[in-house]
Copies of this chain bind each other. A is one copy, B any other.
Amino acid sequence: MTETSPQREFGQLIRSQRIAAIGTLRDGSPLVSMVPIVANEDLSSYLIHISRLAQHTQDILQNPSVGLMIAEPDTGSKNPQSLARASIQGKAVIVPKDSEDYDAQAELYLRKFPDSAMTFSLGDFELYRIDAKSARFVAGFGKIYNFGPADFHAAASLFDK
């Protein structure tokens, strides 16, 4: 499969980036901060490893609804409106240290961010999985797509491993 499709472009964007802007609710108002991020292979869930001392973590403990934006970095070379970006909405769920999934999810995270190994031994850090329910993908100027679970699945299966 060499043809391009919005789902394929979505997968390429998501997998090429290391960080996301995360939106949480702080006293009823949106707070946007930065998190390193790792997509699970199915592209419908995303791992973050965050400290209980951070504002976004405190917000998530109050309300697990989050927004994520994963975007092409702005290098100043083109009209900013044409930058590719995906706005994902979903819920953050803790991956408990004693759960079945923990080791595999931690390993996946550390494969992308080996420098974070140290934080996995700190008591205040927890691994969260963000389960996406929908995404709005802007592939470029005027190329806007609304994605649901079937699109995440298509994006994951289209991606060359």
Contacts and interface: CB of A to CB of B under 8 A. Distances in A.
Contacts of A138: 34
Contact of A17 (B30, B34, B74, B89): B74
Majority DSSP secondary structure for residues of A touching B: strand
Interchain residue pairs A-B with the least CB separation, the first 3: A23-B30, A21-B21, A23-B23
One complex includes copies of this chain to the number of 2
A66 interface: yes
A69 B79 CA distance: 19
Interface residues of A, number: 39
A34 B67 contact: no
Interface string A7-32: 00000000001110111111011111
A87 B56 CA distance: 11
A40 interface: no
A32 B28 contact: no
